[in-house]
Structure 1
Amino acid sequence: MAAFTVAAGTDWIDTIVLGSVNDRWRLDDYDIWLHVKKEGDDTILLDLTTANGRLVVADAPGRRLEINVGWSLIEAVEPGPFVFDILFENKTTEVRSRSGPHTLAISPGITFPEP
């Protein structure tokens, strides 16, 4: 499980490395989804996919997935703890797999630029 924190007024730019060093699978030929939700609630607060460009496969053999979400999308989500996992679907075989659970905290900002 990985834990991520985004401070109010900033973008969520992170990299997740999936699997272990000895794994041979790659991120080639996958559709990938990540839905941020409050634990126990099915409402999708942030919808991140490779199709909408908010998830980017940075290194397919190394299984590096980049999260690229601007503050304008995060701003509507109130501060608090959230959960997500990552769903993978192979475009060729349509086999699906899922990562373990991860957490995201959106914390209130302290310093903001002058208007």
Structure 2
Amino acid sequence: MKATIWHNPACGTSRKTLAILQDTPNVDLTIIEYLKQPYSEAKLRQLFADAGMSAKDALRLRGTDAAERGLDAADEDAIIAAMVDNAAYVNRPFVETDKGVRFCRPQDIVHEIL
């Protein structure tokens, strides 16, 4: 099974999710450190749609200036534009497999798509 994780090595939940993926047999894993390799608008829209969530649901407020910039009250297009410009606004981790996409908070949610 192919799996892709949008990973931030500084995040404990992301590291725990990555460990689950690495410990799962027969997983062909791609790791994207999204702070180094930012999201495209199309990829964000696809991940959110496939995970059944909005950009606002995935907006990271803690440790960012997103609230001060008014992103918590912005519309979907404005939030996604800000996320494309600054990947730190995207909460993590997202994992995509052939079985779907999950926002893996908590990390055990990843089992739903393995």
Category of TM-score, reference length = shorter chain: under 0.3
TM-score, with length taken from structure 2: 0.24
Structure having the higher Rg: 1
Give the structure with the larger strand fraction.
1
Give the structure with the larger helix fraction.
2
